[in-house]
Amino acid sequence: MARDATTAGPARGATTADADGTGLRRLNLVVGLAHLAQAALMLALSNDLALPVVASFLRDDPVLVQEGVRPEALFDVPIGPVVALFLLLAALDHLLVAAPGIRSWYERGLDRGINVARWSEYSVSASLMVVLIALFVGIRDVAALLGLFGVNTSMILFGLLMEKHQAPGRADWSAFWFGCIAGVVPWAAVGWYVLGGGEVPGFVYAITLTQLALFSGFAVNQALQYRQVGRWASYRFGEAAYIVLSLVAKSLLAWLIYANVLRT
């Protein structure tokens, strides 16, 4: 059943204890500061590792001339600053929604079963994470990386549409499933490179498996919210789960990368 989150009432399962938002505000502050501290550490401690992004431009008729398309380096992606960037985006999200003024807007959204700030942040930060993982498995073509960024962003925005237009317990699941389909694409590409016979370092396997599991956890969390399973009947419990999942996923990726390739 469709609903407009701008007019919907409080999410079913909200309790009086949930209503003041004190616990969530504290959690957002702690997690925001944790992300901020990690971003600062990445900038301060990382080496200058950068991975190249390439493009293949036509130089001759590819039908008549063998090797008519040749890859050329476009630019290098500085890994430490990009890791710091996705951590910083998360820090800004959590600290802003805990700030006076913005917090009231955030709380009103939670009462309606939607968090626009979360999906907006994920659309960029999670997509940067996917691009980093793709770079480490050997995907370096600029068009491929842009495509992976875009399809991951679309997955996130389908999650936002689910919250904006569907009510827990009586939802049309189309947006959810479309998001899942979009979300499979980056991992299919990454898996192809990991399992395709190349020489992939062990830490890249660890990154791929842990991030795939954690990214899947976000979809499971939303499904539990909309099925209203147990404590997920409270939207705010699901919100807390999103916050913890985000912290674990971003921190684990950051430190796996740092420990293996960014230490000075």
The encoded tokens of residue 153 equal 């962003």
Per-residue pLDDT tens digits for 120-169: 999 999 999 999 999 999 999 999 999 999 999 999 999 999 999 988 88
Radius of gyration of the chain, Cα coordinates, nearest whole angstrom? 20
User: What residues contact residue 194 under an 8 Å CB cut-off, 6+ apart?
Assistant: 137, 200, 204, 205, 208
Task: Report the predicted TM-score, pTM, of the whole model to 2 decimal places.
Answer: 0.88
Instruction: Please report, for the chain, the start and end positions of each structural domain, with discontinuous segments joined by +.
Output: 16-262
d(CA 126, CA 143): 18
AA identity, residue 33: L
Identify the helix (H) or strand (E) that includes residue 50: strand 50-58
CATH superfamily, with its number, for domain 16-262: Rhodopsin 7-helix transmembrane proteins (1.20.1070.10)
Is the distance from CB of 29 to CB of 95 less than 8 angstroms?
yes
The pLDDT tens digits of the residues spanning 218-238 come to: 999 999 999 999 999 999 999
Question: Could you list the pLDDT tens digit for every one of the 264 residues in the chain?
Answer: 555 444 444 444 444 334 446 889 999 999 999 999 999 999 999 999 999 999 988 776 666 666 667 788 999 999 999 999 999 999 999 999 999 999 999 999 999 999 999 999 999 999 999 999 999 999 999 999 999 999 999 999 999 999 999 888 888 999 999 999 999 999 999 999 999 877 889 999 999 999 999 999 999 999 999 999 999 999 999 999 999 999 999 999 999 999 999 987
Q: How far apart are CA 150 and CA 140, in angstroms?
A: 15
